Amino acid sequence: MRVIVVGAGVLGTMHAWQAVQRGHEVVHIEREREARGASVRNFGLIWVSGRAAGEELETALRARTLWEEIAEAVPGLGFRANGSLTTVTTEAELAVARAALAAPDADVRGFRLLTPAEVRAANPALRGELLGALACDRDAAVEPRTAQRALKDALHLSGRYTFLGGREVREVVGDRAVRDDHGRVHSGDAVILCTGAWLGGLVRELAPALPVRRVRLQMMQTAPLGEELTTSVADADSFRYYPAYSGTALEAMAAGQAQPPVAAEHKMQLLMVQRADGGLTIGDTHEYAEPFAFDVDEAPYEHLTAVAESLLGRPLPQIRRRWAGVYAQCVDTTRVVHRERLRDGVWLVTGPGGRGMTCSPAIAETTANELGW
């Protein structure tokens, strides 16, 4: 087959990977010279721990397996099975962690509840005052700024992959072809549109009632820490935003333990992961109401800095970068992704939300299976 994939973020690149691995030819079209959206602006976390029980967790677990398999062929992904620690500092937070550990799927997630001494043994960089942490051994990480490039380089080696950057698809022609803004028509046996947060233009024309919204977030990155952060780290505010932790313990925590005003206003949690150069990627915020601001707000960064320093028990290194990103999320947040046949041979796959980096290999595999590749 000849497959046309539109969009070179992680979701589009994984669809291209699936097609090439199954022996097909791929023409991959991206409106930027290289991916510039959410796929390179995220944490690079493969985050199994917080996923909702059922389809979402099954997708994340399958994706975690696929990430590890792909990493064997593409070392440039920077894949590492580093696990995660969600730290707790109050009894209410500890109760949520205990409830998660008692859930029927705790073992498949790799959950363990660590004492303060066990936390420091697992991750000596965490010197703050803690009551413990919920460990998730199935969580992992890759390098988001370079992963797409490494995958693309590996795809080129197949001899069945063509990347066309700096071309915006303007029209779907017939059932299995697209026309780009250079006037060139690309025909194939299937067209897969993985356009990320680009929901206007052609996407709006093809799917005017698309049940997908855009979400904006702010993040930052430090200079090298000077020591190893052996796991990814979250604070207990993460319990509020991940469906795995819903239940009476979380309700009690939310009722009795208010977030700081800036964290509540910006719907914040702390996620922190160490990059290959030793720096820390730290975030994040959630903003849903458009139009989004064109600038970044300093107050969330001050909050993130304070939380990170309290967990590390030391000042953060210099902040070298701050940025905002926008991703697409299904309005029905219980859905892993929105997959829609727009016409014969043309599919739109979008809206994984904050699950995109985690779940993209399994989402692409499901698309390939459903299309009979």
Reported as a single tens digit per residue, the pLDDT across 48-107 is 999 999 999 999 999 999 999 999 999 999 999 999 999 999 999 999 999 999 999 999
The two three-digit tokens of residue 160, written as one number? 């069945």
**Domains defined for the chain, CATH in brackets:** 1-81+140-210+335-373 (3.50.50.60), 84-137+212-330 (3.30.9.10)
Per residue in 120-169, pLDDT (tens digit) is 999 999 999 999 999 999 999 999 999 999 999 999 999 999 999 999 99
Q: How far is CA 325 from CA 43, 64, 177, 219, 328, in A?
A: 11, 24, 30, 8, 10
pLDDT of residue 171 exceeding 90, the answer is yes
Q: Give one DSSP letter per residue of 194-207, joined into a string.
A: --TT--SHHHHHH-
What would the pLDDT profile of 175-196 be if each residue is shown by its tens digit? 899 999 999 999 999 999 999 9
DSSP secondary structure letters along 280-301: EEEE---B-SSSPPSS--HHHH
Q: Identify whether the C-beta of residue 124 lies closer than 8 Å to the C-beta of residue 10.
A: no
User: For residue 116, what pLDDT band results from cuts at 50, 70 and 90?
Assistant: very high
Task: Output the pLDDT for position 333.
Answer: 86
Q: What is the pLDDT of residue 70?
A: 98
Within 13 Å and on the Cβ side, how many CA atoms surround 261?
1
Is it the case that residue 249 has pLDDT exceeding 90? yes
pLDDT band at 251 (very low <50, low <70, confident <90, very high): very high
Global confidence as pTM? 0.96
